[in-house]
Amino acid sequence: MAEFIRIYEENPNQKEVDRVVSILKKGGLIIYPTDTVYGLGCDITNLKALEKVAKIKGVKLEKANFSFVCHDLSNLSDYVKQIDTSVFKILKRALPGPYTFVLPGSKSLPNPFKKKKTVGIRVPNNNIALEIVRELGNPIISTSIYDEDEVIEYTTDPELILEKWSHLVDAVIDGGYGGNEPSTVIDLSGEELLIVREGKGSIEMF
């Protein structure tokens, strides 16, 4: 049975953040709020946890398109090949925000992702997610939690999420109602900027 942990976005309680980080460090899976929809995540450095997430999503780990949720752009070079100034300016302008940027993966990607040519980078504009990642000290991988109901697509109520997911994860973070619109996905790995999916983030600035 998953722990249900209430954290307020305006002022995340350090004790509760530490509790979540402790779960992640032990290889636990969490469902947590972002600036778009609730996400399923784990510590990017924990292979067993990564495999569990892939199994839940029904995909092979090395083929999974998980986003890397970072605290800021400072450790980008750990996962992404050197990017030019114009790309960095776009990231700087848009993040933190409701965007996933597809960027060329570097050679130092964690083992399961070594063969990936590109990675999706997220810096959500949500203090709960950012504090967890900052405290953990490295990114968490993230994937949206879909709902079988075709009308709503994403579950927004943390209590309903707990009901449905409590046997699959170790903690559900109640950060209030989530959104039901996913992030806008922008591919910056090629010669030209490509909008892969239009979501919550406005594309006008691009």
* 176 located within any domain: yes
* 82 located within any domain: yes
Q: Which helix (H) or strand (E) holds 100?
A: strand 99-104
Give per-residue pLDDT as tens, 27-68. Answer: 999 999 999 999 999 999 999 999 999 999 999 998 888 999
> In 3-state terms, what secondary structure has residue 143?
strand
Helix axes 14-25, 127-136, angle to 10 degrees: 60
Q: Are 147 and 140 in contact (CB under 8 A)?
A: no
- Give the residue numbers spanning the domain of 76: 3-197
For the domain that residue 15 is a member of, what is the CATH number? Answer: 3.90.870.10
* 172 located within any domain: yes
* 206 located within any domain: no
* 81 located within any domain: yes
* 204 located within any domain: no
Domain count of the chain? Answer: 1
Q: Are 132 and 21 in contact (CB under 8 A)?
A: yes
Q: Are 69 and 142 in contact (CB under 8 A)?
A: yes
Confidence (pTM) = 0.93
* 135 located within any domain: yes
Give per-residue pLDDT as tens, 94-144. Answer: 999 999 999 999 988 888 888 889 999 999 999 999 999 999 999 999 998
* 203 located within any domain: no
